[in-house]
Amino acid sequence: MSSFLSGRFSGIEAYVPGEQPQDRSYVKLNTNESPYPPSPGVLAAINSAEVARLNLYPDPDTRSAALAISGALGLGPENIILGNGSDELLAFAFQAFCDAKTPAVYADITYGFYSVYARINCVESRVLPLDDTLRLVPSDYYGAGGTVFIANPNSPTGRAVPLAGIEAIIRGNPGNVVVVDEAYAAFGAESAVPLIAKYDNLIVVHTMSKSKNLAGARVGYAMARSELIADLNTMKFSFNPYNMNRLSLLAAEAAINDSDYYEECVAKIVSSRERAVLALYGRMFDVLPSRANFLFAKPSFGSGRDYYLGLKERGVLVRHLPQERIKDYVRITIGTDEQMDALLAATDDMMGKNR
Contact set with ligand PLP (CB under 6 A): 32, 85-87, 111, 151, 155, 181, 183, 207, 209, 215, 220
HEC assignment per residue over 77-107: HHHEEEECCHHHHHHHHHHHHCECCECEEEE
Q: Least distance (Å) from ligand PLP to the CB of residue 183?
A: 4
Residue (95 or 209) nearer to ligand PLP, CB: 209
In the bound state, the residue with its beta carbon closest to ligand PLP is 85
- Shortest distance, CB of residue 150 to ligand PLP, whole angstroms? 10
Minimum distance, C-beta of residue 112 to ligand PLP, in the bound complex (Å): 9
Least distance (Å) between residue 205 CB and ligand PLP = 7
Find the angle CA(169)-CA(256)-CA(223) to the nearest 5 degrees: 25
Nearer to ligand PLP, 112 or 172 (CB): 112
Burial of 112: CB neighbours in 10 Å, binned 0-12, 13-18, 19+: middle
Q: Which is nearer to ligand PLP, 219 or 350 (CB)?
A: 219
Q: How far is the CB of 229 from ligand PLP (least distance, A)?
A: 17
Nearest distance in Å: CB 86, ligand PLP: 4
The enclosing H or E element of 125 equals strand 125-128
Residue 30 or residue 347: which is nearer to ligand PLP going by CB?
30
Among residues 213 and 339, whose Cβ is nearest to ligand PLP? 213
Of residues 343, 26, 17, 307, the one with CA closest to residue 155: 17
Name every residue whose Cβ is closer than 8 Å to that of residue 168 and which is 6 or more positions away in sequence. Answer: 138, 139, 142
Alpha helices in the chain (DSSP H): 40-45, 48-51, 63-72, 86-97, 113-120, 163-171, 226-237, 246-256, 259-282, 304-313, 337-350
Judged by CB, which is closer to ligand PLP: 70, or 86? 86
Q: How far apart are CA 302 and CA 313, in angstroms?
A: 15
